[in-house]
Every structure is written in structure tokens, then in C-alpha cells.
Structure 1
């Protein structure tokens, strides 16, 4: 297990098998599907094409990160007007910060999986970058 983590890096999702191993794409697709709202599970283009699924997961995460950033940026100004206590506001800000870290970690995992899928896909010799904007 530590050998795999060392090879794949700390951002590789532990639920996904290493590229090249049996069923790795199936485990990647399952992990990626779990990042999306449940209603997306029935869309055949996403379920049949793991690279498309990875692209959509990256877009979904980018939008979630944007929402969390707005919530962080506006919490101190808007939450008091809703009658939220200062202690609750502070806890909420900490929660948003933790969530933003988690979303960034997930986005890095999606990028790694996307790169691995592109490397294993048809005509894999030229590695193309995903058209999705990269998140630092």
C-alpha cells in the first residue's frame, strides 16, 4: 500500500486503483461519479466515457470552490444581518476553510486521474491537457 501511495503521490484518491492495474478505470469512474450530484449517474455519455466524467467532475468542483469562496468572503458582512451569533460565524468560516482545502485536494485527484486516463486512452502517445481550467 505505501508503495502505491509513494508512486502515485499523496493526492491520488485511495479509493482508486493504480493506473494499469485490473479494473483501475472502473474504480476511477466510481470515485468520479461520487463527486457529482446523484442525478448525473443516469447520463450515459458520462457513464460510458471516463474522460468526460473526469472533465465534468473538475467543472463541478470548480463551481463548488467558487461558491465556498463567495461564502467565505461574505460571511462576516452577511451572516450578522441574518441574526447569526458571532461564535457561529467563526465556526462557519472555519468550516468553509476546511471545505475549500478538501475541494482543492479532490480537484488535484481529479487532475491526476484525468492525466492517467488520457495516458491510457486510444492514441495515448501525445498527452493532451484537459481544456478545464486548472485550480492551484
Structure 2
């Protein structure tokens, strides 16, 4: 059984086969679809065109990052009037910080997969 090595870039998602390997685009599309809200699975245009799926996933993650940043920046002033305890606020701030890191990694992975889809599975460029 031959094995295709995964891309060197550490941000390449482990759920997606290496560009150019057998069936890699199907694994890319499945991973990208999983990043979107479930209702998007019904949109055949996105499912038939992985490049569009990558573009929409990138936009979705950007919006999620903006929402998490807003929640993080407003936690200290908006949560106390709601009766949220200081320890809970601190835990929430840590949660948002971790989520931003995870979303950043996902965004880099989506960008790499999208670039590979655009180039047809050739070598992808780092940004």
C-alpha cells in the first residue's frame, strides 16, 4: 500500500489528504463542509465546487473570529451587570482566548486547502 506524505506545513489539516494524492479533494470538501453550519450541507453549488466551499468556510471563520474578539473585549464590562461571578468571567476570557487560537489555526488550514484547490492540488504556497 503506497502512502502519500502529508504537506510539510504544520497548519495543513490532518483530516485532509495531501494535495495531489488519490481522493484528496473529497477529503478537503468533507473537512470544509464540517466547518460550516449544518444547513449549508444542503447547498449543492457549494458541494459541487470545493473552491467555493473553501471561500465560504474562510468567510465563516473570519466572522466567528470577529464575534469571539467582540465577546472577549466586552466580557469585563458586560458580564458583571448580568450577575456573572468574577471567576466565571476569568474562565470565559480564557475560553475566548483559546477559541481565537483554534480559529486562527483553522483559518490558516482553510487558506492552505483553498490555495491547493485553486492550483489543482499542486504545491501550495504559505502565507
- Scaled by the length of structure 2, what TM-score is found? 0.90
Structure 2 unmatched runs, 5+: none
Residues in 1 aligned to 2:68 and 2:33: alpha-carbon distance in whole angstroms = 21
Structure 1 unmatched runs, 5+: 128-135
Residues in 1 aligned to 2:70 and 2:78: alpha-carbon distance in whole angstroms = 11
Question: CA RMSD for the aligned pairs?
Answer: 1.9
Give the equivalent residue in structure 2 for 1:98.
Answer: 98
C-alpha displacement of 1:102: 0.2
Residues in 2 aligned to 1:104 and 1:71: alpha-carbon distance in whole angstroms = 16
Where do 1:10-89 residues align within 5 Å? 10-89=10-89
C-alpha displacement of 1:8: 3.0
How many residues end up aligned between the 2 structures?
A: 121
C-alpha displacement of 1:45: 0.7
- Scaled by the length of structure 1, what TM-score is found? 0.84
CA contact (8 A) 1:16 1:31 kept: yes
Give the equivalent residue in structure 2 for 1:131.
Answer: none
C-alpha displacement of 1:4: 3.2
Provide runs of 4+ in structure 1 moved above 6 Å: none
Task: Note the alpha carbon deviations across 1:22-64, whole angstroms, 9 max, x for none.
Answer: 0000000000000000000000110000000000000000000
CA contact (8 A) 1:72 1:97 kept: yes
Task: Give the 3-state SS of the residue equivalent to 2:110 in structure 1.
Answer: helix
Residues in 2 aligned to 1:11 and 1:4: alpha-carbon distance in whole angstroms = 15
